[in-house]
Amino acid sequence: MSKTIFVLNGPNLNLLGEREPAIYGTTTLSDIHRNCVARAARLGFEIDFRQTNFEGELIESVHQARSQACGIIINPAGYTFTSVALLDALKMFDGPKIELHISNVHARESIYHSSLISRVATGIMIGFGARGYELAIEAMADMASAARTDTLRQEAS
């Protein structure tokens, strides 16, 4: 079983650190990437970290994760509320999935309150700022390790 966690980021997240710092903070996506790799390494996992502004590329990453990842952490950004295609792709991934948002979307405008992605997420990380990524990696490492143990038990039976 893979020890790679896919961390997928949707549109406009490439502008973190510049974009609405009052909402998203000043941490850049490069900073988040570096922190994710370091946290995962301490837990014995690897990170495949991606960002795209294109829905189809995000979906292709989910498809690749089916054969390459033990779990997906996804910040779908604007696609959270609009992409049935992304929802369908995530349904086809059998491992744990964590939906992540830097800001507390429920404290914002009502357009941000209804996530399509939450319907298939194993867990949701909302409102912890850039640190939410590291917290999500810790949670994913626990879930992936538990799934690996369950698989080994089933194979031994």
> Annotated binding site for substrate, which residues?
75, 88, 102-103
Cβ neighbours, 10 Å, residue 23: 12
Q: Which of the following is catalytic: 63, 101, 106, 113?
A: 101
Q: Which of the following is catalytic: 24, 106, 112, 113?
A: 24
> Is 112 marked active-site?
no
Which residue positions form the known binding site?
A: 75, 88, 102-103
> Is 101 marked active-site?
yes
Return the active site residues: 24, 101
